[in-house]
């Protein structure tokens, strides 16, 4: 049993020679997965945050709970829509809405900061991989 000789390794291209490849088989799908995962995690955390906010003495009324549930549903819908070209912009708008929901309770603003930072990271990875 013989094995084929290994292919020669070409040196890394110098700056400006050729675009760097990410090494991923399907970089678009990888980036979509990162965005969808971030939004899905955000939806789960938002739904799980309702009861602790209410129990910790937070004045989260019915409107506040409705706003949190609406944001969670929007995050879940956007997670499933990452194939669409508008989904990344809508995800950014969702982060702004979550940050603005900090007016309802400070912990929602904290979640807005945390997931806003995660979204900024995901968009920067998208920019680096897809160009």
Q: Closest by alpha carbon to 103, among 71, 70, 59? A: 59
pTM: 0.79
Each residue's pLDDT tens digit, 15-32: 555 555 667 788 889 999
Q: Is residue 8 part of a domain?
A: no
Q: Is residue 16 part of a domain?
A: no
Q: Is residue 9 part of a domain?
A: no
Q: How many domains does the chain have?
A: 1
Distance (Å, whole) CA 90 – CA 86: 6
pLDDT at site 56? 77
Each residue's pLDDT tens digit, 20-68: 566 778 888 999 999 999 999 999 999 999 888 888 776 777 888 899 9
Distance (Å, whole) CA 80 – CA 37: 10
């Amino acid at each position: 049993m013989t094995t084929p000789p290994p292919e020669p390794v070409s040196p890394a291209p110098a700056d400006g020679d050729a675009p760097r490849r990410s090494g991923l088989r399907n970089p678009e799908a990888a980036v979509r997965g990162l965005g969808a995962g971030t939004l899905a995690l955000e939806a789960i955390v938002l739904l799980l945050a309702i009861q602790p906010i209410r129990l910790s003495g937070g004045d989260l009324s019915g409107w506040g709970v409705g706003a949190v549930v609406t944001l969670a549903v929007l995050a879940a819908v956007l997670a499933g829509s990452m194939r669409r070209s508008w989904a990344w912009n809508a995800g950014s708008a969702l982060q702004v809405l979550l940050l603005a929901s900090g007016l309802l309770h400070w912990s929602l603003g904290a979640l807005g900061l945390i997931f806003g930072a995660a979204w900024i990271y995901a968009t920067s990875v998208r920019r680096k991989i897809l160009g």
